[in-house]
Chain A
Amino acid sequence: MAVKVVGRPELTFWENLYIPQILTGLRITFRHFFKNLFLHIAHRVGLLNHLRASATIQYPEELRPLMSRYRSRHRLTVRDDGTPRCVGCMLCETVCPARCITIVPGEHPDPHVEKYPVRFDIDLGVCVYCGYCVEVCPEDAIRMDTGILDLAAYSREAMQLDIHELMDPSLRKPIDKCALEFPHQCGVDEGQMKGSWDDISG
């Protein structure tokens, strides 16, 4: 066991005087003060906007830049004709470790497509944002690139996204009318959503 002697340096005369040290500190604070003051004033008149005057990001008005790989709220991608790319293969529902995805597939009128999601629900209160659903999707039908971070709701129900909110990230509950042009069977009407397993099978 080697003993390491930690020296306790004596303060020199100048350090004991405090004053030079205080002036050093004041130089730093004054530099920051006047630099930031100048920049704030310059921003007011529209100059030097590429230089930040403060490290603060004024959150609701100004968002932090997100990495392109950042996993934010999900969305369902659409084809050119406005129908969802999802073919209801259930891979994402199967791979989901949190089991937050519920898909109810229905038969697609186009014989080349086979299936489409009648319901596609994601319970964000359960989702762990692992991104497996995005990885596993063979159709590139689900992505997590909306950049929506402010996921908050007053109830658990409001945290459950249905296909309308997933296809149009700007939508928020309650959704009055199903706006999907797709020959949809969910038939949201008067705030009520149909299209459960019962409706399909029975």
Chain B
Amino acid sequence: MIELIAIKLALAGFVLFAVLNLAGLHTWVERKQSALIQDRIGANRASILGFRMLGLFHGIADALKMFTKEDIVPARADKVLHMIAPFFSVFFALVTFAAIPFGDFLIVGDRVIDLQVVKLDVALLYVFAMLSLGVYGVILAGFASGNNFAIMGGLRATAQMISYEIALGMSIVGVVMVYGTLDLSELVRAQGYLIGGWVPMWGILTQPVAFVVFLTAALAETKRLPFDLPEAESEIIGYFVEYSGMKFGMFFLTDFLETIVVACLATTLFFGGWQIPFLLPDGFHFPWGSEVLISNWLYALLGFASFSIKGLIFMFIFMQLRWTLPRFRYDQLMSLGWKGLFPIAVANVAVTAVVLVFLDQVL
């Protein structure tokens, strides 16, 4: 019992450590990547003992600054809700990672450890529930600040989330129908099946349309450009106008955390999670007959590396999109969500159903 708890704690600690550091690094990536895109250099002045490390210390400097700044609560704000809102945001962004498998399994002694904080039968539902709840942080922040601009941001967040979560959910239905499970680790395992012995049955191959819809809706979920209407710093400054210090920092962090969540989800649902083509638990089995056997530790490590690399590539693409596209107008966003993505997602579900039944009959 103690052992089990220790293992779970270790896994949770590992995930939190990785994810929070990654979110911190995102500030650096955002600065540097935008700088490269715009022919600039990017923040590079923060130094420790003369070492600048390409500006990596700016993240630490930011954190120090956030922690030492005065925490201002407006007089007209609802004190309790104003305080709870950022915690809501960060909490729901963080707990989402619990259900995402970042590797297959690891054998320590005679114990088989799933590389996943918690193995849930309804992991997919859990993830989307938590992502949806995260919006409450934004809405509360806008509502509790007692500021018109903030409440505009909160309202925009509400409207945006309603129009996107439906498309997001519908796009996932197709994937669930193909693989027949809501358990994310089972879903990843099912994606390892080789079509004709050659091509891995990743989600991107079976559900390409769902992938496009998912990616668009997921971008909206992260509240970053081109769907950063709740924030829209050039129009309304955003739902966190009245936040300062680390409470603002938490909203800032949530944005990056959600980007990571969405990148991990895209990897898990459409790019085979920790799968590497032809890699089975005991080694590589190539379709032309040759085999390379590897130990379980290497297998777990390769799986984790595969998952990380795919996730990082997605984060890179999200960042590139964020610095490429301008912001959608409010009505354009609504019409894209309701008139564009939602019908496509529904049609995708219908087509998937027909094809599945057809394949069932034929095969």
Q: Once the chains bind, are A33 and B36 in contact (CB under 8 Å)?
A: yes
* A173 CB-CB contact with B under 8 Å: no
Q: A22-B324, A33-B36 are in contact. List 8 more A-B contacts (CB 8 A).
A: A32-B38, A32-B39, A33-B37, A36-B37, A53-B39, A54-B35, A54-B39, A54-B41
- Scan residues 10-29 of chain B and give those whose CB is less than 8 A from a CB of chain A: none
Q: Are B325 and A22 in contact (CB under 8 A)?
A: yes
Interface digits, A29-53 against B, CB 8 Å rule (1 contact, 0 not)?
1101100110010000000000001
The answer to whether A30 and B36 touch (CB under 8 A), given A54-B41, A58-B41, is no
CA distance in complex: A33, B39 (Å): 8
Instruction: Write the B31-61 contact mask toward A (1 if CB under 8 angstroms, else 0).
Output: 0010111111100000000000000000000
B350 within 8 A of A: no
Residue from the list B41, B212, B325 in contact with A56, Cβ < 8 A = B41
Nearest B residue to A17, CB-CB: B340
Task: Tell me the chain B residues, 42-90 only, with Cβ under 8 Å from chain A.
Answer: none
Report the separation of the CA atoms of residues A53 and B42 in the bound assembly, to the nearest whole angstrom. Answer: 12
Q: Number of residue pairs across A and B with beta carbons under 8 Å?
A: 41
Interface flag for B148 (CB, 8 Å): no
Q: Would you call B324 and A54 a contact (CB within 8 A)?
A: no
Decide: B321 and A26 in contact? CB cutoff 8 A: yes
Judge whether B323 is part of the interface by a CB distance below 8 angstroms: yes
| A20 close to B (CB within 8 Å) | no
- Could you tell me if B40 and A30 are in contact, using CB atoms closer than 8 angstroms? no
Contact between B39 and A29, CB atoms less than 8 A apart = no
Q: Does B320 contact A (CB under 8 A)?
A: yes
CB atoms of B324 and A26 under 8 A apart: yes
Min Cβ gap B145→A in Å is 33
A29:B41 contact, CB within 8 angstroms:
no
Report the minimal beta-carbon distance from A25 to chain B, rounded to whole angstroms: 5
Chain A residues lying within 8 Å of B40, measured Cβ to Cβ, are 54-56
Q: CB-CB < 8 A to A28: which residues of B?
A: 324
Look across to chain B and name the residue whose beta carbon is closest to the beta carbon of A58: B41
A: contact size bracket: 10 to 19
Please tell me the size bucket of the interface on B.
10 to 19
Contacts of A22 in B (CB 8 A): 321, 324-325
| In the complex with contacts A54-B41, A56-B40, A58-B41, A29-B35 CB distance below 8 A | no
Residues from chain B with a CB closer than 8 A to the CB of A37 are 36
Which residues of A lie under 8 Å from residue B212 when comparing CB positions?
19
Contact B36 A36 (CB under 8 A): yes
Interface string of A88-109 (1 = CB under 8 A from B): 0000000000000000000000
Q: Which of A18, A29, A56 contacts B37 (CB 8 A)?
A: A29
- Contact between chains at A26 and B39 (CB < 8 Å): no
A-B pairs, 4 with minimum CB distance:
A36-B36, A29-B324, A56-B41, A25-B324
Interface residues of B (CB under 8 A from A): 33, 35-41, 212, 320-321, 323-325, 336
Residue of A at shortest CB range from B212?
Answer: A19
Complex Cα distance, B38 from A22, in Å, reads: 17
What B residues does A53 contact at CB under 8 A? 39
Selected A-B contacts with CB under 8 Å, 20 pairs:
A18-B336, A22-B324, A25-B325, A26-B320, A26-B321, A26-B324, A30-B320, A32-B37, A32-B39, A33-B33, A33-B36, A33-B37, A33-B320, A40-B36, A53-B39, A54-B36, A54-B39, A54-B40, A54-B41, A55-B40
With both beta carbons as reference points, the residue of chain A lying nearest to B44 in the complex is identified as: A58
Min CB distance A27 to B, Å, is: 9
Q: Which one of A18, A25, A30, A55 contacts B39 once the chains associate, using CB atoms below 8 Å?
A: A55
Shortest beta-carbon distance from B327 to chain A in Å:
13
Which of B38, B40, B324 neighbours the largest number of chain A CB atoms within 10 Å of its CB? B324
CA distance A192 to B321 in the complex (A): 64
Docked Cα-Cα span, A195 to B38, in Å, equals 56
Residues of A within 8 A of B37 (CB): 29, 32-33, 36
CA distance A30 to B323 in the complex (A): 10
Q: For residue B233, give the distance in angstroms from its CB to the closest CB of chain A.
A: 20
State the CA gap A127–B38 with chains docked (Å). Answer: 38
Residue-wise, chain A 164-177 has the 8 Å CB interface mask toward B (1 for contact) of 00000000000000
CB distance from A33 to the nearest CB of B (A): 5
Q: Which residues of A contact B41 (CB under 8 A)?
A: 54, 56, 58
Alpha-carbon separation in the docked complex, A19 to B39 (Å) = 25
Bound complex: CA A28 to CA B320 (Å): 11
Q: Report the Cα distance A56→B324, complex, angstroms.
A: 20
Residues of B within 8 A of A54 (CB): 35-36, 39-41
Interface set, chain A 147-162, CB cutoff 8 A to B: none
Q: Which of A34-88 contact B (CB under 8 A)?
A: 36-37, 40, 53-56, 58
Once the chains are docked, how many angstroms separate the CA of A2 from the CA of B309? 62
A40 CB contacts on chain B under 8 angstroms:
36
* A residues less than 8 Å from B321 (CB atoms): 22, 26
**Within the complex, what minimum Cβ distance (angstroms) separates B335 from chain A?**
11
